A and B are shown apart, each in its own frame.
Chain A
Amino acid sequence: MRRIGVFCCWCGSNIGGVIDVPRLAMEALNLPAVAFSTDYKYMCSEPGQELIVRAVAEHRLDGVVVAACSPRIHEATFRQTLERAGLNPYLLVMANVREHCTWVHPDDPERAFAKALALVRGAAAKAARTEPLAAGTLPVTRRALVIGGGIAGIQAALDIADAGFEVLLVEREPTIGGKMVLLDKTFPTLDCSACISTPKMVAVAQHPRIRLFTYAEVVGLKGFLGNFEVTIRQKARSVDHGKCTGCGACWAKCPARVPNEYNLGLDRRKAIYVPFPQAVPNKPVIDRRHCRQFTRGRCGVCQKVCPVGAIDYAEEDREWQERVGAVVVATGFDLFEWAEAYGEYGYGRYPDVITGLQFERLANAAGPTGGKIVRPSDGAVPRTVVFVQCVGSRDEAKGREYCSRVCCMYTAKHAWQVLEKIPEAEVFVFYIDVRTAGKAYEEFYVRARRAGAHYIRGRVARIYPEGNRLRVVGTDTLLGRPVEVPADLVVLATGMVPAAGSGELARILGCGLDKDGFFQEAHPKLRPVEAGTAGIFLAGTCQGPKDIPDTVAQGSAAAAKVVGLLVREEIAYEPTVAMVDQTRCTGCGKCRAVCPFKAIELVTRQVRAGTAVAERVVAEVNPGLCAGCGNCTVACPSGVIDLKGFTNEQLLAEVDALCL
């Protein structure tokens, strides 16, 4: 017979103000296997815990029920108490008589008491069937994978590498740098984006502990926290970067011209190209979708002019596996595709209606106009520039409910830049609200207004051409009057959406996405850089719209989490995981299908069935990955999976005691 102790907490007046706690303790003494019971004002306090420690020793208890608050609050506390008392911490069962009882039934103390007693009865029945559990350990592969080479990935990679661990940085574009390197100036300090981001790109390339893979993708991930196996695909560059000197002869002679994605289609590049002069690595790749050697089967100009014979049309995509202990996802964002969604702004037919990122390229000295803000249609300097905020943000009808957070500030910056660069220019900003939540942001916004930017509260209803200008129709809701602005250039503050392919990557990694398609963090406040899957961390705009300071902070935060993991030789996992009785498992795989954590695999094992030993396919739980959710125990048609600490036997006993 087990000897269970029941400890009833008053929680001040939270429980004690509703039910008679001493009576609860007294009644508990009549339950099977209960050898001792008592009550106390605050069981979680130091004297309360001492009470438990002493009672365990004096009454030789081998199981403990604490009737108090939710296990989410104090289960960990009382497990430690049991450890101090010399008991296995998993011999504790909490009966939640606060959240589940007195908080919800303060008006009916008599029935609340009956319910509290029933909860204690259930907990005691379970306690009589608990078993000691031990946390296991797993070794850690001390190396990290960072997916995405924008500023978030760069920051995370540098921080992890600086802490002494090897980093694999995988970027799908031909260069790292992401969106930040495309920007002209950054708000609110107006420092040049290239000046602060290109040195970091170079630092990544030169770091002895960072292995950089550009033009490469992550196509597979197996394993678990501390022990992942990642499959990387290196897309064929068609240029041997070992031989290439980056001399530029190939792209000078290449005859194929295609819209340049790095200038957002504002100019053209060649089919063999380096995205921009400061690219890292600063060596070209061949864009096979546009290269004449691939589209027409003949050309070969680059191969002819290359002085070192680096061009290799026959190169193929290559895939291989690497082992890592942790993964940082930093895949960033794309701009909302406004043209399809906003017919009222011309479906993208008017060349002088551009996006904020296109404006950045126009204002950028390294951009297609050398930093001159001109109209894409005729190259004229615009006199009146209209900015339209919240395009693809805060617009439920267009399927984008959220605020993109950066547009108010970059629009204020653009307005300021127009007024600074073009004398006599007039700037109108149509807005819904101006959100400037950041250090020195409001001050910058005021600065833009003082420079003369006219802010008009209201959404633009329509943009249409009038001669070679544009007419912008909106309402000034502060005046309560419709307004029209004849404009030379219209800049749309397009919002952020998850980077293309985020869904596919989430599927590969086994991570969740939020309702908008951004990577879902484990807890919105307390675990903002962890994905739901252990060992995978999030940095930057892949998790949600954010500006550069927040992105960099999150990159460093994710790195700190990774380093905290990699410094350990091995990691302990919770022992409350699923366990398969392999002698009775039929290998049907239903459990694997319902596991959200990819913790179950079908393996071939020597299994003893009766006296015979046979080789069979059976399910096996990886304790490092299992989160103890219990899905598999329900799905198993043979009923041979049990969750340790919540076994079928324990739960049935608890339910029986509650109901019978």
Chain B
Amino acid sequence: MLVLSGRGQEFANRVSLESGQPVQQCYQCGKCTAGCPAASFMDYAPHQVIHLVQLGLEEVVLSCRAIWVCTSCYTCTARCPCRIEVARIMDILRARARRKGLHRGQRAALFADLFLDSVRRHGRLHELELGARWGLSTGQPWREADLAAGLVAKRKLRLRPPRIKGVEEVRRIFREAARLEEGEHG
């Protein structure tokens, strides 16, 4: 049983403002869901995510799996008849979930963290490292290990971290992004 009351409007307005999208304008036609390649892996379909925002059910929407399953392919955005950038709203929701610590336990969030950390440190992705850390973090270190041998043999997976010239510049980008985010929401 969901109880609808009180502060709903406020949350919906905040999401609208942050995303620049008229969330209340959605009339729930479901076209976003119909085109979404990931919808069948979601606990709430994209149109339901929007609906939860409309109703102000902040905790439900920020702790749902759907916003992390979204691959940001932007098919929904391209198709929405109300001109709502659904994928943009998904972004905003992920960011809000992180700030509230509601991303913990979401595997997609963990993957994103490991991925970006690798990029930050090496300037570009070190696949083997990402694979190893992912295996260790999820408690299934050997699950995909059998694939690694073949990839290494074909030189698709490098053992050593990649080296690029602009590592320091990439790090600066990360620092700048963190600063901006803090400035916005600090």
Contacts and interface: CB of A to CB of B under 8 A. Distances in A.
Interface of A: 384, 426, 428, 434, 446, 449-457, 476, 478-479, 481-486
A426 B13 CA distance: 13
Given A455-B27, A484-B3, 10 more contacts: A426-B8, A434-B27, A449-B24, A450-B24, A452-B12, A478-B47, A479-B52, A482-B2, A483-B1, A483-B2
A407 B88 CA distance: 35
A100 to B, nearest CB: 47
Interface string B1-36: 111111011001100000000101101100000000
A486 B5 contact: yes
A454 B54 contact: yes
B57 to A, nearest CB: 9
Given A452-B12, A454-B54, A484 B4 contact: yes
Size range of the interface on B? 20 to 34
B25 to A, nearest CB: 6
A426 B24 CA distance: 13
Contacts of B38: none
Given A454-B54, A454-B55, A479-B52, A426 B25 contact: no
A480 to B, nearest CB: 8
Interface in B112-151: none
B28 A483 contact: no
Contacts of A428: 4
Interface of B: 1-6, 8-9, 12-13, 22, 24-25, 27-28, 44, 47-48, 51-52, 54-56
Given A426-B9, A452-B12, A478-B47, A486 B3 contact: yes
B24 A476 contact: no
A384 B55 CA distance: 13
28 contacts: A384-B6, A426-B6, A426-B8, A428-B4, A434-B27, A446-B25, A449-B25, A450-B22, A450-B24, A451-B24, A452-B9, A452-B12, A454-B56, A455-B27, A456-B4, A456-B55, A457-B28, A476-B51, A478-B48, A478-B51, A479-B48, A479-B51, A482-B1, A482-B2, A483-B3, A483-B4, A484-B1, A485-B3
Contacts of A457: 28
A485 B4 CA distance: 5
Nearest to B30: A478
Contacts of B51: 476, 478-479
Nearest to A451: B24
A331 B22 CA distance: 44
Contacts of A479: 2, 44, 48, 51-52
A449 B48 contact: no
A141 B27 CA distance: 55
Given A478-B28, A478-B51, A454 B22 contact: no
A485 B3 CA distance: 6
Contacts of B28: 455, 457, 478
Nearest to A477: B28
Contacts of A434: 27
Contacts of B25: 446, 449-450
Nearest to A474: B4
